[in-house]
Structure 1
Amino acid sequence: MPLAKAADDTAINYELHGRGQRVLLLLAGQSNNRHWWDCVLPDFAESFLVVTIDYRGTGDSGKPDTDSYSTRGFAEDAMAVLDAIGADRFDVYGTSMGGRVAQWLAADNPGRVNTLVLGCTSPGQSHGVERSPEITRALGQRDKAAVRKALLELMYSPEWLKTHPGPYNTIGDRAMPSYALRRHRKASAAHDSWAVLPSISAPTLVVHGTDDIFNPTANAPLLADRIPGAKLELIEGARHAYFEEYRAIASPLVLDFLLGQP
């Protein structure tokens, strides 16, 4: 597998899909790897050269037990990959924590990000809307089966789960070391991009499910109002993994936006 070297020499694994002229970087959620996107990859690989990565601490990337985990740091790791493949300009689609990482990419690299899509994400705790304490408690249980059940119900509707028995690629990289899992959680919780959001110049689409309580839907208009000219689209009935359960709506929506930009 191809590897890029981050600034601290951590190896960052990536994969390339498709043969499009434009490069599209897909960024996964917290404590997840490149397989987060497996279900919908074909939707984008027809039009783009799609790049998926394993964050440090996940998949086949390096897993340093250091204070090198942050959403801005993940963005710098992604830039190391984009530099390695010679992508001068690129489009970015990030969901959940990947949307937080994508915010830094766009803010820190205004001359290189062509178009930005932020899915089911937020500006961070300082200015965003946090999930309820009940959800936090449910995800903090010692019973791993109970945590898995709670996470699946936050990601997907009961109707979808009845007809889709898995495997599920959105509920975490099970091979992550415990220290990397903790560092991912801290990195996502510490995210705060509020001050730089008005500086984002790339055309931006904010997408969210109306029934997302894992990352509350109220964060979507906050982002859209804060980023100049951003467009907001809410997918009725969708929970956190809207891009998978509502693929038939979400993928065309995002593609239309991406391809509609020069």
Structure 2
Amino acid sequence: MPVVTAPDGVALSYQVAGRGHPLVLLAGQANNHHWWDGVRPDFAREHLTVTLDWRGTGASDKPDEPYGTRGFAADVVAVLDDLGIERAHVYGTSMGGRVAQWVAADHPERVVALVLGCTSPGGRYGVERDDAVRKSLGQPDRRAAERALLELMYTPRWLADHPGPHRTTGDPGMPPHARRRHLRASADHDAWDALPGITAPTLVIHGTDDLLTPAANAPLLAGRIPKAATALIEGARHAYFEEFREVAGEIVLDFLADNAER
């Protein structure tokens, strides 16, 4: 896999598949590019899809130093620069959606259209998961905590039909320090003041039954970003893009086609 060196010297692994107008796909917290494996072929039929392993994950370097969503956005731009891509669609989910906000706000000339999935503006206005969800994820029984995470990602019916392995529950090869750094980066995200400056056409998409990043964040983002559209997927949890692949994929692809550069 190709590797680019970020301005601070960190090596970042990235992946390219498909053909067409570039589409950057940004994964969730403590996950690598495999987050997208279940749906990437849908997008690669129409787009040159670009993913990366966040610093701390996959084949990228894993320095034990502070990470931030704004810094991750700079890493995304470093990958685009290495590929010689001047402008791309950007689709970020979960923490990747937080990063996508900064890509669009700090580098508006690089973003054709923006999709923000199952994410939050962060800061004082973001709607946080409730205490029951936090306790379920932090319980000392590791297997019980892993099951709790799966049930936040997918509905019971989907889990019964898809016993795994699951691609969206964390990179198993991450060292503990990198997991902590990712958690802090996501928790510290606050793009509220920057959101009104986003100029790219934007779609905010969310599952109605998402408790990991509550669906109440969707109208907050859409109301803060000029002319943003909203799509809510009924009954979907955090991994809406995989479980509700056909519905979500069509919504996103139609939006990107409607906002393609002519």
Normalised to the residue count of structure 2, the TM-score between the two structures is: 0.98
The answer to whether the Cα contact below 8 Å between 2:73 and 2:102 also exists between their aligned partners in 1 is: yes
Task: Write the deviation string for residues 109-135 of structure 1: whole angstroms up to 9, x where unpaired.
Answer: 111100000000000031111100111
State the AA in 2 paired with 1:242: Y
Q: Is 1:114 matched up with 2:147? A: no
Task: Write the deviation string for residues 69-105 of structure 1: whole angstroms up to 9, x where unpaired.
Answer: 1000111011100000000001100000000000000
State the alpha-carbon separation in 2 of the partners of residues 2 and 143 from structure 1.
Answer: 38
State the alpha-carbon separation in 2 of the partners of residues 53 and 143 from structure 1.
Answer: 31
* Counterpart residue number, 2:27: 28
* Counterpart residue number, 1:14: 14
Q: 2:156 aligns with which of 146, 151, 158?
A: 158
* Counterpart residue number, 2:242: 244
The answer to whether the Cα contact below 8 Å between 2:123 and 2:192 also exists between their aligned partners in 1 is: no
State the AA in 2 paired with 1:53: L
The answer to whether the Cα contact below 8 Å between 2:24 and 2:91 also exists between their aligned partners in 1 is: yes
State the alpha-carbon separation in 2 of the partners of residues 112 and 37 from structure 1.
Answer: 22
Q: 2:199 aligns with which of 198, 201, 226?
A: 201
State the AA in 1 paired with 2:233: I
Question: Structure 2 stretches of 5 or more lacking a match?
Answer: none
CA shift for structure 1 position 37: 0.1
State the AA in 2 paired with 1:9: G
State the AA in 1 paired with 2:52: I
* Counterpart residue number, 1:3: 3
Pairs within 5 Å for 1:50-199: 50-67=49-66, 69-199=67-197
State the alpha-carbon separation in 2 of the partners of residues 30 and 111 from structure 1.
Answer: 26
State the AA in 1 paired with 2:9: D
State the AA in 2 paired with 1:43: D
State the alpha-carbon separation in 2 of the partners of residues 160 and 64 from structure 1.
Answer: 36
Superposition misfits of 4+ residues, deviation over 2 angstroms:
none
CA shift for structure 1 position 43: 0.6
CA shift for structure 1 position 35: 0.1
State the alpha-carbon separation in 1 of the partners of residues 257 and 39 from structure 2.
Answer: 17
- The share of aligned pairs that are identical, in percent, is 62
Task: Write the deviation string for residues 213-253 of structure 1: whole angstroms up to 9, x where unpaired.
Answer: 11000000000000000000000000000000000100010
State the alpha-carbon separation in 2 of the partners of residues 71 and 192 from structure 1.
Answer: 9
State the AA in 2 paired with 1:14: Y
State the alpha-carbon separation in 1 of the partners of residues 188 and 7 from structure 2.
Answer: 21
State the alpha-carbon separation in 1 of the partners of residues 11 and 146 from structure 2.
Answer: 29
State the alpha-carbon separation in 2 of the partners of residues 215 and 111 from structure 1.
Answer: 29
Q: Number of residues paired by the alignment?
A: 260
State the alpha-carbon separation in 2 of the partners of residues 142 and 63 from structure 1.
Answer: 26
State the AA in 1 paired with 2:74: E
Q: Is 1:234 matched up with 2:232? A: yes
* Counterpart residue number, 1:216: 214
CA shift for structure 1 position 19: 1.6
State the alpha-carbon separation in 1 of the partners of residues 243 and 110 from structure 2.
Answer: 31
State the alpha-carbon separation in 2 of the partners of residues 186 and 6 from structure 1.
Answer: 21
CA shift for structure 1 position 140: 1.1
State the AA in 1 paired with 2:208: T
State the alpha-carbon separation in 1 of the partners of residues 214 and 208 from structure 2.
Answer: 9
State the alpha-carbon separation in 2 of the partners of residues 126 and 36 from structure 1.
Answer: 28
State the alpha-carbon separation in 1 of the partners of residues 28 and 186 from structure 2.
Answer: 9
State the AA in 2 paired with 1:212: D
State the alpha-carbon separation in 2 of the partners of residues 141 and 180 from structure 1.
Answer: 20
State the alpha-carbon separation in 1 of the partners of residues 140 and 98 from structure 2.
Answer: 28
State the alpha-carbon separation in 2 of the partners of residues 247 and 112 from structure 1.
Answer: 27
State the alpha-carbon separation in 2 of the partners of residues 143 and 184 from structure 1.
Answer: 22
The alignment partner of 1:111 has SS state of helix
The alignment partner of 1:80 has SS state of helix
